[in-house]
Each structure stands twice: as C-alpha cells, then as structure tokens.
Amino acid sequence: MVRAPWQSPGAPAPSDAGRSEPAGVPVEPGTVRIAVDLLGGDDAPAVVVDGALRAVRADPHLHLLLVGPAAVAGEVIRALDPVERTRVAVRPVDAVVGMADHPSAARADSTVRAAVQAVRAGAADALLSAGSTGATVTAAALGLGRWPDVRHPALVATLPAVGGPVVLLDVGGSLESRPMNLARHAVLGAAYASVAHGITAPRVGLLSVGTEPGKGDRARRLADPLLAAAVLPHGGRYVGLVEGYDVSLGARADVVVTDGFTGNVLLKAIEGAYAMAGGAPAGGGAPRAAALLGVAGTVVVCHGAARAGDVASGIALAAHLWRRRAADLVRALLAGADAPDLENRTDRTTDTEVPTS
C-alpha cells in the first residue's frame, strides 16, 4: 500500500475531447450510479479523470461516485457543465493498492476497497477499476461475496471477432486451471453470452493446441468431457477443442474457455494485433474492459494500461450490465432459476476467504 501522489507538477489538464459514445457499448436509458477508482491504473489519475469526463458527457443518465483524492475528483467536477456536476459525487480516499502489491493489500483501506464498500452499502450500483486485477478481485470477493459453487470468480472479455462477438474467459481473475474450474467457467461464459449478448444456445469451446480429441495438457484432456456435460443443462452447446485463431475469427465458438494466465496473455496479444492492423473489426471496440463473474455485484476491470477511451468504455460497460441486471440473470441461469423470479431479489452472499489469484 502506498499513499499516492495524485497530481504531478505540470500535469496537463484533462482532455475535453471525446464527447462521443464510448466505443462498443450502447447508451441506454435508466439512471445508474458507477463507483470509479480514480487511482487505479498505470497512468492514473489523468486517464481516469479524462475517461470519467467522457462517460458523463456521453450518457445523460449516468451518475458517478468518484473514489479517490478530493483534489483529483475536483478536476472532473470543475471541467463539467453545472448541470452535469449534479450527477457526480465524491468519496475522498487517498490510499491505493499499487500494481505490484500483493492482492491481499486490498484488505486495507484503499480506493478499490472503498469502491466495493460503496456498492455493498447501496451508494453505487456498480464499480470500475483499472488498478491491480488481483486486488480488485480480492476486494470484490471479500466485500460483495461469491456466488454458491463459484470458488474462483472469472474475468470475461468480449472480443469483436470477424464472425461476431466472442466471449473469452478467464482473462485474469484466477490463474487456476483445474478441470472442474474450467468447467465452471464454461457455464459462466455460456450464461454471460446469453444475457449480455442475446446469443441463443451459445457455442462453447475449450482453448487448446489443436482441435483433435486428446490434444492439450492434462487439465484440458480431463476438462474436455466435463465441459460437454456442464454447459448443456444451462443452454449452451459444447463444440469441443478450439485454437487461438478461433477467438479472433469467431466462426466456431461464441464462448472460449481457458485459464486466467493463458487468457490474459492471449487477450493482450490480440490487442497488439488489433493495433498493428489499425483497429478492431468494424463495429467492435477495444477489449480493454472485462466483467467479473461470480461475485454478488457488477464489477468491471479495465486493463492497467487503459487509455481515457478505455476507461469511458469500461464505465459504459458497467452501466450496461447493471441496467440489464446481467449479474442476477447469469446467476439465475447457473442456479436453474427463472429470470423473472429475480426482479426484486436483493439478497447477497458473504465470504471471508481470499481468492487464490
């Protein structure tokens, strides 16, 4: 834990550009309150401030709870029009979990912990952080609780593949690659694809080094039959093993499952390929924000190297998921419950164990 210097001498004022809609996420009606970790990320707070400005200006129904130093929050508020300022609140916190800190540092007072507490207390509907992934996952699991039967929450990213959106998980929530964990994440991914993207009977594939049966390491070989049995009861279709290019093409699978280590490496490699190619496929935004599945709340984690546009898109994604009640609906699908039964559900689970990520 470090006490963060939140404004360097001579730092440029937040950019006033970017009034357009955040990339890849539609603006929808319905008031929503997003807690934003102002100190999370490699280039925080400057890019987070700029991203917050873009998000507020793009969505007239969006309210922000800025969690961080009062001076940094003041930069956002002063740059907004008087009417827009009424949609921004501040929770002053000066401490931050550094990108190199152990995830357990999230137990202490920090911006990400305070953002989680705001969601738990009902002061915010969802949260966004571009800070340490391990710390964000730990803070969310401890503060919000995990769903039943989900030991390792998963980060799920949607990539704009050639054949349509592809849901990739895990991309860093947990490094665990045991077969049962991969099977559970396959169910999470299928449910998320149905709820967040409206994909009927999503095709689920397991990432490996070849498509032939028996390919891959021991974990993949053991997980292969488990995924086939796991996803069918929840409305998915298991298509077997898939390879890396299937993620970017999107022709064989709508959901690709792997462990968090491999998924994170693959995601960043694809980001680099998009950059070299001059951008993602038409109609898709950069995959620099991921939803955390398996905790009792809406949590979005941005890439540590996120730019202002990425932060704005991450905030918009958090708003989109909350407005769709995605977390409740995904949890209902996992439990085999009917979605309408969750319309007024407010219960939360609690957990005191730190996730092993």
Question: Which phi-psi region, left, alpha or beta, contains residue 278 (left: φ > 0; alpha: ψ -120 to 50)?
Answer: left
Confidence (pLDDT) at 33: 94
Do 40 and 88 share a domain, yes or no?
yes
171 and 283 both lie in a single domain: yes
Confidence of residue 4 (pLDDT cuts 50, 70, 90): very low
Distance, CA of 293 to CA of 154 (rounded, Å): 5
Residue 106 shares a structural domain with residue 59? yes
Closest C-alpha among 330, 325, 322, 300 to residue 313: 300
pTM score: 0.81
pLDDT value for 44: 83
pLDDT, tens only, 259-272: 999 988 988 888 77
Helix axes 70-79, 46-58, angle to 10 degrees: 40
Supply the pLDDT for residue 66: 93
Res 94: pLDDT: 84
Average pLDDT over residues 91-118: 78
Range of the domain at 131: 21-150+294-324
- Give domain status of residue 329, yes or no: no
The Cα–Cα gap between 59 and 22 comes to: 9
Looking up residue 198, the CATH number of its domain turns out to be 3.40.718.10
Residue 279, Ramachandran bin (φ over 0: left; ψ between -120 and 50: alpha; else beta): left
DSSP string, 254-318: SEEE--HHHHHHHHHHHHHHHHHHTSSSTT-----EEEEESBSSEEEEE-TT--HHHHHHHHHHH
Give dist(CA 168, CA 152) in Å, integer: 16
Mean pLDDT of 49-67: 92
Alpha-carbon distance of 354 to 247, in angstroms, equals 31
In terms of domains, do 114 and 65 share one? yes
**pLDDT for position 27:** 63
Q: Is 155 found in the same domain as 281? A: yes
Q: What pLDDT is attached to residue 118?
A: 94
In the chain, the number of structural domains is: 2
Q: What is the dihedral of CA 249, 253, 258, 262, to 10 degrees?
A: 0
Position 109 in a domain: yes
pLDDT reading at 255 higher than 90: yes
Res. 6 pLDDT band, cuts 50 70 90:
very low
Both 128 and 36 in a single domain?
Answer: yes
Range 305-328 average pLDDT: 90
- Residues 156 and 134 grouped into a single domain: no
Checking if the pLDDT of 96 tops 80, the result is no
Any idea how long the chain is? 357
Q: What residues have CB less than 8 Å from 155, skipping those under 6 apart? A: 133, 137, 169, 170, 171, 172, 173, 260, 263, 290, 291, 292, 293, 301
Judge whether residue 289 has pLDDT over 70: yes
Amino acid 285: pLDDT: 53
Closest CA to 250 of 159, 155, 154: 159
